[in-house]
Amino acid sequence: MGALEGRRAIITGGASGIGRATVELFAAEGGAVVIADVNIAAATNLAEAIIRAGGRAIAVACDVTRSDDCRRAVETAVESFGGLEILVNNAGIVRRADVVETTEDEWARVMAVNVTSVFLMSKRAIPVMARGGGGAIVNSGSGWGLKGGNRAASYCASKGAVVNLTRAMAIDHGPQNIRVNCICPGDTDTEMLREEARQLGQDEAAFLAGSADRPLARIGSPTDIARGVLFLVSDAAGWVTGTTLVVDGGGLA
């Protein structure tokens, strides 16, 4: 049996990058997965591939900044799989700019996708988990939620908020047997990392090479991060809540 046999999960931003790797790993470990993403075509293709491989998955169109979409994602888990034990608040965006360069609309958008989405999804998911006896939530932070970074004011602010929101949620919902933790990736080989290079006007290959400047001398793979998420939602982390797990090849060190 896999580590998640019989458990039901929602993963936001699940159609690509770290989200996709987490979906695939959870399915391989026996979990039933709701793939919540704005890109419903990519989410559907991934769900169909998992089903063909013998797993359980369903796609749902979800803009994580919209309360109704978040409600629908949770309802899909209950209607399709009978319940919900795991929520991974993975969806996120980045804007590489300082406070002067950042527009008010850009600031609001980063905060909505990176922070408000955690509130909206958790607000809908926690009552379902509580009725079922408990669960585990993993919020996606960043190394830059624990330290500052250049030309990333809105991103750093949003990820710092996620780190401390995680602590508050862990305190509030521990009595309901709901564990809440935060994963803090370092630079990971995803489309979002390449988007950072474009926003900064830098050569993509050189930017990725620079991102490998850390003790383990490489950038992370989405699977590296997904394995950390799997640990946090598994029974192996049964007494772990309110903490941050840094998965960054030693970069923060």
Torsion of CA 119, 123, 125, 126, to 10 degrees: 110
Q: Tell me the Cα Rg of the chain.
A: 17
- Interval 236-249: pLDDT, tens: 999 999 999 999 99
Structure tokens belonging to residue 137: 């939530």
- Interval 88-114: pLDDT, tens: 999 999 999 999 999 999 999 999 999
At 178, which helix (H) or strand (E)?
Answer: strand 178-185
Provide the whole-model pTM.
0.98
Q: Residue 72's pLDDT is what?
A: 98
Structure tokens belonging to residue 145: 């939620």
- Could you tell me the residue ranges of all domains in the chain? 8-247
Distance, CA of 121 to CA of 246 (rounded, Å): 23
Percent above pLDDT 90 for the chain: 100
* Catalytic positions, written as ranges: 155
Backbone dihedral angles phi then psi of residue 37, each to the nearest 5 degrees: -155, 150
- 8-247 architecture in CATH? 3-Layer(aba) Sandwich (3.40)
Confidence of residue 230 (pLDDT cuts 50, 70, 90): very high
Confidence of residue 56 (pLDDT cuts 50, 70, 90): very high
